Amino acid sequence: MLQTLIIQNYALIDNLQIGFNSGFSTITGETGAGKSIIMGALSLILGQRADISFLKNKEKKCIIEGVFSLNNNQLKNFFGEHDLDFSETIILRREITVNGNSRAFVNDTPVSLTIIKEIGINLVDIHSQHENLLLSNGRFQLSVLDAIAKNNVQLSEYKTTYNNYIVTQKKLNELKEQAKKNQADYDYFQFQLKQFENINLNENEVADLEQEKNILTHSGEIIENLNSAIQILSEGENPIISKLKELKFVFENLSKNYQSTNILKERIENIFIELKDISSELESIISKVEVNPERLSNILEKLDLIYTLEHKHKVNSVKELIEIKDDFRKKIESVELTDNEISKLESKLLEHYTLLKKRANILTENRKKASVSIEKSIIPMLKLLGIINANFKVQLSEAPEFTSTGKDIVKFLFSANKNIEPMDISKVASGGELSRLMLSIKSLIADTNEVETIIFDEIDTGISGEIAYCMSEIMHKMSKKIQVIAITHLPQIASRGENHYLVYKTNNKEKSETCISLLKQEDRITEIAKMLSGKEVTNAALENAKNLLKN
């Protein structure tokens, strides 16, 4: 509940601090006194956006602070999720600097506007006249139904499943779109890869092939030269090896008598051995050299394919071609992996769908039960509020697709006349009827303890007499469970409050200022008498005020 509200340098307020009690409190004051200013300041600490125009003194910052006490721990998990220290007393603060910047704090910890707004939603429900229009909003109607059905846990579970379903569905659609695009390139990738695989590329192969091509191209000339060399060395008319053999024999004889030639003899022996070895090697080489036009043709074809691929893909080496080939293989594998992933996601989506349907059905069943409960409760309250022939129905129908709140479409149907079927509220309910409907609904929601404070901001416009008294009875009954604050112009409602606050404006030559004070009993009598008779307070009005307070 709201315990204390502190306002500094806001609109017509210099410095204001007011404490609030539990139960039913009423706030009154003349038009223009500043009731809406106080509500505006409260809205700031509940997450409303702010700007520099709110500053009364443009050279000082504005500070709004609210102290709230909790009777339950509905916010404990939220505080934990956002690394905030939780306590049963929560202080919300907004500061607006002179340059228009706004800062928000929860228990002196800086937070974003989104966080303070989320906390505020769970603390206070401010209901003004224009919010009666929410009754025509399907989302609001559904939120009412869920509040009565106490669907908090079920709705949270459903939303988790729904989000998983949507995320999986989106990913599946993206994969399918990608697969469709890849499929168009799949044949092309395969064709390109086949070209590479037909060549069977090897990083060092080109140099070897060029060398073999050169040998095969000149094989006849090579064989001819090799044969000539063999002839000169060992097979001609005067082969060198035979001559060296003779020379070797000469030096062997010479060295017997002239030892100084031993060195020359050894050198000739070495030359003889070397040339004999060369001749033998030439015999081996010539046996390996062949004239093979078919092999040459294959090599030329392969080299041509390699050079064509290099030119086609604008690279200069086989290594780069191998990298391109690997890339094509990866792209093909990616298409095939995408197909497998699609299959897995389809199975996962089906699991999410099955669970989603199950949880949506639970919500629907709870809402159907709550619909009956709402109808039974709303109609008596509407009759109490003067709509004697009231009829109220909750119409549930199935949505074509799953939504973030289930698969239900809700409509509140209303009729104020006998023998007239209930119709969509937006088409048949007057402003006064909307006010009474909304009060009845808020009364039901109060039983769910969704929030601990509800503020009715002049929702009694167009209401008077006995109906106003009945409204005050409903508000008073609500205040047994939550804190209720009503801003009102009606003495029947003002007198019903356990606490009565007066908003007034002080004026002097320099400034006007909005103030608020908690009235004592005598002051309450005078204030309610003014509400009854106007500025001129009559004795009859005073007696009437006393009777209202007494009753």
Do 418 and 311 share a structural domain?
Answer: no
Domain co-membership, 141 together with 219 = no
Residue 137 and residue 29 in one domain: yes
Residues 393 and 498 in one domain: yes
Evaluate whether residue 351 is within a structural domain.
no
The pLDDT of residue 164 is: 95
DSSP code string of 194-214: HHHHHHT--TTHHHHHHHHHH
The residue from 337, 355, 375 where one domain ends is: 337
| 438 located within any domain | yes
State how far the alpha carbon of 322 is from the alpha carbons of 194, 200, 409, in Å. 13, 10, 60
pLDDT bin (cut points 50, 70, 90) of residue 365 is very high
Query: What pLDDT, on the 0 to 100 scale, is given for residue 175?
Result: 87
> Do 26 and 135 have their domain in common?
yes
Edge-to-edge strand list for the sheet holding 13-19: 13-19, 2-10, 62-69, 89-96, 102-106, 109-111
| In the chain, % of residues over pLDDT 70 | 98
For tokens 């690997």, what's the residue? Answer: 326
Specify if 352 maps to a domain.
no
Q: Which pLDDT score, from 0 to 100, does residue 449 have?
A: 64
Residues 88 and 201 in one domain: no
Residue 374 lies in a domain: no
Q: Is the pLDDT of residue 487 over 90?
A: yes
**Domain membership flag for residue 185:** yes
pLDDT value, residue 73: 72
Confidence bin at 130 (pLDDT 50/70/90) = low
Most confident of the ranges 54-68, 196-210, 296-310: 54-68
Number of domains in the chain: 2
Residue where one domain finishes, among candidates 298, 321, 337: 337
Q: Is residue 474 part of a domain?
A: yes
**In what side-by-side order are the strands of the sheet with 24-28?**
124-128, 453-457, 483-487, 24-28, 499-507, 512-518
Mean pLDDT of the chain: 87
Measured distance CA(96)–CA(108) in Å, rounded: 15
Render pLDDT for 419-457 as a digit per residue (tens, 0 to 9): 899 999 888 888 888 888 888 988 888 877 668 899 998
Q: Same domain for 333 and 422?
A: no
Looking up tokens 């092939």 gives 209
Q: pLDDT class for 100, splitting at 50, 70, 90?
A: confident
Residue 181 pLDDT > 80, yes or no? no
Q: Are residues 325 and 461 in the same domain?
A: no
Q: Are residues 15 and 139 in the same domain?
A: yes
Q: What is the mean pLDDT of residues 136-142?
A: 87
Express each pLDDT in 377-424 by its tens digit: 999 999 988 899 999 999 999 999 999 999 999 999 999 998 899 999
Which residue is listed with tokens 């469970």? 481
Is residue 358 pLDDT above 90, yes or no?
Answer: yes
Q: Is residue 500 part of a domain?
A: yes
Tell me, yes or no, whether 376 lies in a domain.
no
DSSP helix/strand/coil, 129 = helix
Q: What is the predicted pLDDT for the residue at 491?
A: 92
How would residue 220 be classed by pLDDT, with cut points 50, 70 and 90?
A: confident
Structural domain including 49 reads 2-150+385-519
For position 24, which CATH number holds?
3.40.50.300
Domain check: are 323 and 410 in the same one?
Answer: no
Pair (317, 192) in one structural domain:
yes
Q: What angle do CA 527, 533, 538 make, to 5 degrees?
A: 85
- Would you call 453 helix, strand, or coil by DSSP? strand
322 and 211 inside one domain:
yes
Give, rounded to a whole angstrom, the gap between the first and last alpha carbons of the chain.
Answer: 27
